[in-house]
Amino acid sequence: MRRLMPARVHPDVPGEARLAKKVGARIRALRKKKKLTMAELGTDRRGQVYFEKQYVWKMETGRVTPSLAALSHIAKRLGVRLAALLRDL
């Protein structure tokens, strides 16, 4: 399976940086609640790597905007619906 790569934040898109930081903060909070490391979040339950921990860090700090495929993987790994990552942003 191929690795999922998040896109960079585009400073010329209004509100994208703010939104990326909010999504990242939500990912971090849920990851910590589930007691997963960044490396564990980047893999599936069988150990298949989807993201390196550096990309997880970049997503959590709002330095990159995760793709829909990346958010889908993260939601599955955290055991939440995709909507839970995006609700009330």
CA–CA dist 66, 88 (Å, integer)? 17
Please give the model's pTM, rounded to 2 decimal places: 0.82
Range of the domain at 81: 12-86
Asked if the structure places residue 27 within a domain, the reply is yes
- What pLDDT is recorded for position 15? 79
Asked if the structure places residue 2 within a domain, the reply is no
| Whether 1 contacts 67, CB under 8 Å | no
Asked if the structure places residue 5 within a domain, the reply is no
| CATH (domain of 24) | 1.10.260.40
Asked if the structure places residue 63 within a domain, the reply is yes
Per-residue pLDDT, averaged over 1-27, amounts to 72
Number of domains in the chain: 1
Asked if the structure places residue 31 within a domain, the reply is yes
Q: What is the pLDDT of residues 29-82, one digit of tens each?
A: 999 999 999 999 999 888 899 889 999 999 999 998 888 999 999 999 999 999
Task: Write out the two tokens for 43.
Answer: 């893999």
Q: Would you state the torsion angle of the CA atoms of residues 35, 41, 46, 48, taken in this order, to the nearest 10 degrees?
A: -160
